Amino acid sequence: MVSEIRLFTRNAVAKAKLVVANPDEPAAPAGGGGFAEWAMLALHALRIEFGKSYR
């Protein structure tokens, strides 16, 4: 069974990858430096959808 969170996350990632400059960038690139743009957009969408803080 697929959960609501999983479905929402899958859709958020797909839509985020449509609007960034480099959709093929790994979520956490090797060598550090932060997350890919599409990953940050998907995390922000999850935070808004579920009304939670980043903590």
What tens digit of pLDDT does each residue of 29-47 get? 888 788 999 999 999 999 9
pLDDT at 2 over 80: no
Contact of 22 with 1, CB cutoff 8 Å: no
Domain segments of the chain: what residues? 1-19+31-54
Q: Which two tokens stand for residue 30?
A: 């090797």
The pLDDT, as a whole number, for residue 1 is: 62
Q: What is the pLDDT of residue 54?
A: 76
Greater confidence, 1 or 41? 41
Q: What is the pLDDT of residues 4-31, one digit of tens each?
A: 899 999 999 999 999 999 999 999 988 8
